[in-house]
Amino acid sequence: MPDAARRVADLLNEIGHPRSVVLLPASGRTSAEAAAGLGCSVAEIAKSIIFRRVVDDRAVMVVASGANRVDEDKVAALVGPLRKANAAFVKEHTGYSIGGVCPIGHCKDTIVLVDRDLLRFDSIWAAAGHPHAVFNLSPSELLAMTGAPVVDVAAPAA
């Protein structure tokens, strides 16, 4: 198991999460790739989108349904003006590389928001620190693990 995925597995074990990290045979870097590898819908993938808050350079992570595009204006209305986060910023603040950003276990304090659309599922899948690693959880477990508020951040369907 890759080091970052092992760290997530250890963290999940420490907090008593009952399910293990799963390694996908192919990449789960995108929601579509992860869903194909797991045999679930794209909407059941809890993707992590990272922004950079302008006022204090803090990471803002939105955990959204893989079927949704995140509306940056809605996120900014909740936390303040945002900029895009590049790969180096994401790695520095979360400890994970883009494509494998886990919703928990960040190396710096991160503002976390959870897309309300995830609450309609009994079971969702989140990245576990590596593009080939995921773990299964319920939306209520995601909320308990992150302490995040549930928000409406999905962009209107086109």
Give the chain's domains with CATH numbers. Answer: 3-151 (3.90.960.10)
Residue 30 is predicted with a pLDDT of 83
Per-residue pLDDT in tens (0 to 9) along the chain, 158 residues: 899 999 999 999 999 999 999 999 877 778 888 899 899 999 999 999 999 999 999 999 999 999 999 999 999 999 999 999 999 999 999 999 999 999 999 999 999 999 999 999 999 999 999 999 999 999 999 999 999 999 999 998 76
Q: Whole-angstrom Cα distance, residue 15 to residue 137?
A: 13
Which residue in the block uniquely carries the two structure tokens 């789960």?
28
Residue 158 is predicted with a pLDDT of 63
CB 64 within 8 A of CB 47: yes
Residue spans of beta strands (DSSP E) within the chain: 21-23, 45-53, 59-65, 82-84, 111-115, 124-127, 133-137, 150-151
Whether the model clears a pTM of 0.85, i.e. scores above it, the answer is yes
Q: For 157, which DSSP code?
A: P
Q: Under 8 Å CB-to-CB from 157, ≥6 apart: which residues?
A: none
Report the candidate in 131, 105, 139, 100 with the shortest Cα–Cα distance to residue 15. Answer: 105
Report the candidate in 35, 27, 50, 33 with the shortest Cα–Cα distance to residue 133. Answer: 27
CB 110 within 8 A of CB 58: yes
